A and B are shown apart, each in its own frame.
Chain A
């Protein structure tokens, strides 16, 4: 028959790590060779002895809940450190008080409307200047944004005041907001990204830095945000981000078109405004109500 099994092979056999073919030949060999069969029995005993001996060590209870709490807290610390703005500290109750303002919500809506309008205006301009069959500019925000085109001129500043009327209209349409429990690690996902190098367009860096700073401040205090507000904030942010992505890809494909770049910066500005609105209302929100 085949050669006798050495110790490593026998161990691998018991651990179920032999390849199919080798497993078969080892089994056949063990059935026919009394020396190897005896060695196998001895090894099996030793394995059992070790399993039994180490079992209490590895079966002892694991303090899952406490570990979870500790790690949650440590991760939160990490994020607060990353934010490194003076907003940390004893603001907790203060902030959560501020966040229950209704005006907060309407400011959010206002920003949303501005972004929709930007996207719509951009979409129209793009359709006029470019070939008509290019669908890039028609990002999702355009869908219900057409009626607002006339209302908002494509200027960068003052997004909030202009749109209060439109915003009321939108408030009625809005579905009731689900109060999802806040996920434990909301920041995780932003870290799970590929590390391909990204080429920034000229002038983008300053915006991105501002956004990153505001974003991390807000994230650091996210626990004190009402869940419903968090959902809304995330939704508004999604719209702004989509607008940025759309304008950005347009600016990228038309590097010589100053309008394209302008629209991209407008979209960035909207995001900065939205983030500022959230961050400002927390720090000095008393005045808004």
Chain B
């Protein structure tokens, strides 16, 4: 209650309108970053329904800590760091079968969320599964570097997300990418 009281008194003079005062409102943060959060979560948990749970948890943490999160430029890095942590915790104890994901795709298709031809859908998911298996073989922190790189994060953001030195990110991405290409070539017979 004290915290709330303090917030109240601090916000008193001009803080009554409906627009946000901070660098980014919760709403804007969601609009800008929910895709990256969801996709990163899904790449880790391998399950769209679980990825939704993770995304919800991540944004609730943002909501609770809005006053303590970094500014706009590093917010995405912060969100994805939390995403990786929450997703890894979620994945422990979960079995990673594709069964649940299939059910999810079925239910979302029923609700009109996904409209894909079944064969196309199948091919697509085989491709996703191959990439995931290759990604699985890449060790941490290279794997997370690749995931975040793929989401378009800068080296600075990646370093911030994973608590690495920015100068090491290039080398980690290079090693991760090399390992991925090697394993993926074997799995898919493409190289």
Contacts and interface: CB of A to CB of B under 8 A. Distances in A.
Contact of B18 (A67, A75, A204, A234): A234
B117 interface: no
B42 A60 contact: yes
A183 B17 CA distance: 11
B7 A191 contact: yes
Given A189-B21, A193-B10, A209-B1, A74 B56 contact: yes
Contact of B12 (A43, A180, A189, A245): A245
Contact of B128 (A57, A62, A204, A211): A57
A236 to B, nearest CB: 10
Interface in B44-66: 48, 52, 55-56, 59-60, 63-64, 66
Contacts of A241: 12-13, 15-16
Interface stretch (A27-35, A111-119, A125-133, A194-202): A194-202
Given A189-B19, A209-B1, A46 B178 contact: yes
A234 B25 contact: no
B177 interface: yes
A9 B130 contact: no
A57 B131 contact: yes
B8 interface: yes
Query: What's the interface size class on B, roughly?
Result: 35 or more
A264 B184 CA distance: 70
Interface residues of A, number: 66
* Residues of A contacting B: mostly: helix
Interface in A196-238: 196, 198, 200, 204-205, 208-209, 211-213, 215-216, 234, 237-238
B181 A50 contact: yes
B67 interface: yes
A175 B114 CA distance: 47
Interface string B121-152: 00010011011101100000000001001110
Contact of B1 (A61, A185, A213): A213
Contacts of B18: 180, 183, 186, 189, 234
Nearest to A197: B6
Contact of A190 (B1, B2, B11, B190): B11
A188 B174 CA distance: 40
Contacts of A49: 181, 184-185, 190-191
Nearest to B57: A74
B39 interface: yes
B67 A53 contact: no
Interface stretch (A10-18, A100-108, A166-174): A10-18
Contact of A208 (B8, B56, B174): B8
Contacts of B63: 75, 78, 188, 191
Nearest to B127: A56
Given A50-B180, A56-B131, A71-B30, A242 B13 contact: yes
A10 B175 CA distance: 12
A81 B91 CA distance: 28
Nearest to B43: A57
A164 B156 CA distance: 62
Contacts of A143: none
Given A17-B155, A192-B22, A63 B52 contact: yes
28 contacts: A8-B170, A50-B181, A53-B130, A53-B184, A56-B127, A57-B128, A57-B132, A58-B39, A64-B34, A70-B56, A71-B56, A185-B25, A188-B27, A189-B18, A190-B7, A191-B66, A191-B67, A192-B66, A192-B67, A193-B11, A193-B21, A198-B10, A208-B6, A209-B2, A212-B5, A216-B4, A241-B13, A242-B13
